[in-house]
Structure 1
Amino acid sequence: MDGRDLLEPDALRSFAVFAEHRNFTTAAAVLHISQPSLHVKIRKLSAALGAELYERDGRRLTLTAAGERLAAFALDSRRRADEFLRELHQDTAPTVTIAAGRGALRWVIAEPIRQIGRQGRRVHVITTNRDGALSALTAGQADLAVIAHDPPGRQVEAVQIAAYRQVLVIDDGHPLATRRQIRLRDIDGLDLVVPPVGRAHRRALDRALLDADVTWQVAAEVDGWDLLVHLVALGVGATIVNGCVEVPDGLRAVPIHGLPKIRYWAAWRPQRQSLVRDLLDQFGHRP
């Protein structure tokens, strides 16, 4: 028996469940089989494929690179089977799963999601950060990932779908609120509401302000464009966000000269291109 023989629905389903839980006891219970039986299935699968599928890290089980690829393949196979059954019984169009951050979902891709919903497509959303979105994509848990800043690696297909200038959000009574545009040096001395250390936007902002020799203070650290703006409305400080973010009454968004545009990318695995084609059309891109 070779690897092709073992890549049958039963073996794939067993490995997909194991990959989801990374625990033999839990996965065996979900599959309604004994734990030794699951061990045997995965050991045979590993031997037939000639690759280790998981490894132990203390008490934790982690998938190897081959295991991650097999898990994604298994999820793709299950999704295609579900889609076939829906089409066979003339059910609605298959669900598309999108992984993206809250800001992207609210201000960047809200209209495309609305449009494909009007076409009868169901949308499942995974709200996560850039790393989480790409992980969900490569693991086969998401059909499309929308990420900001740098494009993803070559392991997936990607296209730029939007680019926005960065703006300073301040109280409309602030002296800078009367400007049509400001420069980085105008921010010197401000208290800023910023994302936590380690976030992509925070890293880029720290670097740009340091290069411009701008002195500033952290007024607060929160995650998400909406919360950044909300704290400005509460009088905590100013903030820098994408120009697509809507600001409430009483605040002003002033474009900043000297900061790069923030670019958004839609990424997908080639195996899921047919499923995301309609959504990519809404972004103005036809694969």
Structure 2
Amino acid sequence: MDGRDLLEADPLRSFGVFAEHRNFTTAARELHISQPSLHVKIRKLAAALGVELYERDGRRLTLTVAGERLAAYALDSRRRAEEFLRELHHQSAPTLTIAAGRGALRWVIGEAIQRVGHRGRRVQVITADRDAALTAVTSGQADLAIVAHDPPGRQVEAMQIAAYRQVLVLGDGHPLAARGQVRLGDLEGLDLVVPPVGRPHRRALDRALLDAGVRWQVAAEVDGWDLLVHLAALGVGATVVNGCVGLPEGLRAVPIHGLPDIRYWATWRPPRRAVVQDLLDQFGTGQ
């Protein structure tokens, strides 16, 4: 038994391991106890709390809402124990785990991560889309998520860290490339490289072009700002991205009048505020 084990309540720690695997056999093996013993621990914990912690869906085990909340609390407790032990032995600051998309990591928060790293902070990254990033935060797998478009829900804290105009990206030789600005109507008849159906950026773009009565064609569907721009550079079609995205030689970005700015939010659960504060400070608006 190590120092971390002594600082964590045994039933809570056991449930945290079970919640991670959603499997009694695997969790019991990791905890070095029998499967019946683990069943008893979790059953007693649920009875003491007066809630159901998991349920069966066919052969699968899924956590209830209360189980999800307790799993996040268990992970917080484990991390706080680890952080305390590091501080006790004068080790480095706790690792900061960030969930974000590739574009946000590269063009929105890349410099902030670099500055934090130069100050000795270790950073772990989870590459995830909006839904997966928010799930990583609410489940306790990530300390901080970076998401675009709409602000996250009330179950987490959040602040806006950036906003960028949307731009039309096309080759230097295209007639629209010489414009200082284009309107939605100017996209009539264009072949566009767009994200797959269902992605937030695609939904917003579809709605805006439909409302403006603009007819256009799908040239290709790919996920990620970098791939959208790459295919535009290959001449597959024009694309619409946010203004922070870097462009290769031969492409031009023209601001689009009529599309809203794309906003980025940093979001975290209140118990992790102290852990994420130094990164928030890099955006100039941390409190």
TM-score tier after normalising by the smaller chain length:
over 0.9
| Corresponding residue for residue 220 of structure 2 | 220
Deviates more, 1:27-36 or 1:217-226: 27-36
- 1:254 equivalent in alignment to 2:254: yes
| Corresponding residue for residue 3 of structure 1 | none
In 2, Cα distance between equivalents of 1:254 and 1:32: 60
| Corresponding residue for residue 230 of structure 1 | 230
In 2, Cα distance between equivalents of 1:284 and 1:145: 17
SS of the residue 1:42 aligns to? helix
| Corresponding residue for residue 269 of structure 1 | 269
Q: Percent identity?
A: 80
User: Displacement of 1:165 after TM fit?
Assistant: 0.3
Deviation by residue 1:26-59 (Cα, 9 ceiling, x = unmatched): 1111111111111111001000110000011111
User: Displacement of 1:13 after TM fit?
Assistant: 1.5
- The one-letter amino acid of 2:75's match is L
In 1, Cα distance between equivalents of 2:8 and 2:242: 47
- 1:284 equivalent in alignment to 2:287: no
Aligned residue pairs: how many?
A: 281
In 1, Cα distance between equivalents of 2:261 and 2:69: 34
Matches within 5 A, 1:28-47: 28-47=28-47
Deviation by residue 1:51-105 (Cα, 9 ceiling, x = unmatched): 0000111111110010000000000000011111111111111111111111000
User: Displacement of 1:9 after TM fit?
Assistant: 2.3
User: Displacement of 1:125 after TM fit?
Assistant: 0.6
Matches within 5 A, 1:191-202: 191-202=191-202
- The one-letter amino acid of 2:231's match is L
In 1, Cα distance between equivalents of 2:224 and 2:9: 41
SS of the residue 2:266 aligns to? strand
In 1, Cα distance between equivalents of 2:64 and 2:58: 15
| Corresponding residue for residue 4 of structure 2 | none
Matches within 5 A, 1:66-105: 66-105=66-105
In 2, Cα distance between equivalents of 1:185 and 1:81: 57
What is the root-mean-square deviation in Å for CA atoms of aligned residues?
A: 1.0
SS of the residue 1:244 aligns to? coil
Whether contact under 8 Å (2:23, 2:61) holds in the other structure is yes
In 2, Cα distance between equivalents of 1:285 and 1:135: 24
User: Displacement of 1:235 after TM fit?
Assistant: 1.1
| Corresponding residue for residue 172 of structure 1 | 172
In 2, Cα distance between equivalents of 1:66 and 1:285: 33
| Corresponding residue for residue 163 of structure 1 | 163
- The one-letter amino acid of 1:239's match is T
Gaps of 5+ in 1: 1-6
SS of the residue 1:231 aligns to? helix
Gaps of 5+ in 2: 1-6
- The one-letter amino acid of 1:154's match is R
User: Displacement of 1:8 after TM fit?
Assistant: 5.0
In 1, Cα distance between equivalents of 2:286 and 2:31: 40
Whether contact under 8 Å (2:165, 2:262) holds in the other structure is yes
SS of the residue 1:98 aligns to? strand
In 1, Cα distance between equivalents of 2:103 and 2:182: 24
In 1, Cα distance between equivalents of 2:215 and 2:201: 18
In 2, Cα distance between equivalents of 1:180 and 1:153: 37
SS of the residue 1:44 aligns to? helix
Deviation by residue 1:128-148 (Cα, 9 ceiling, x = unmatched): 000001101001111111100
In 2, Cα distance between equivalents of 1:14 and 1:172: 60
Whether contact under 8 Å (2:183, 2:258) holds in the other structure is yes
In 2, Cα distance between equivalents of 1:269 and 1:39: 29
Q: Give every structure 1 segment of 4 or more consecutive aligned residues whose post-TM-superposition deviation is greater than 4 Å.
A: none
Whether contact under 8 Å (2:8, 2:78) holds in the other structure is no
Whether contact under 8 Å (2:151, 2:265) holds in the other structure is yes
Matches within 5 A, 1:121-200: 121-200=121-200
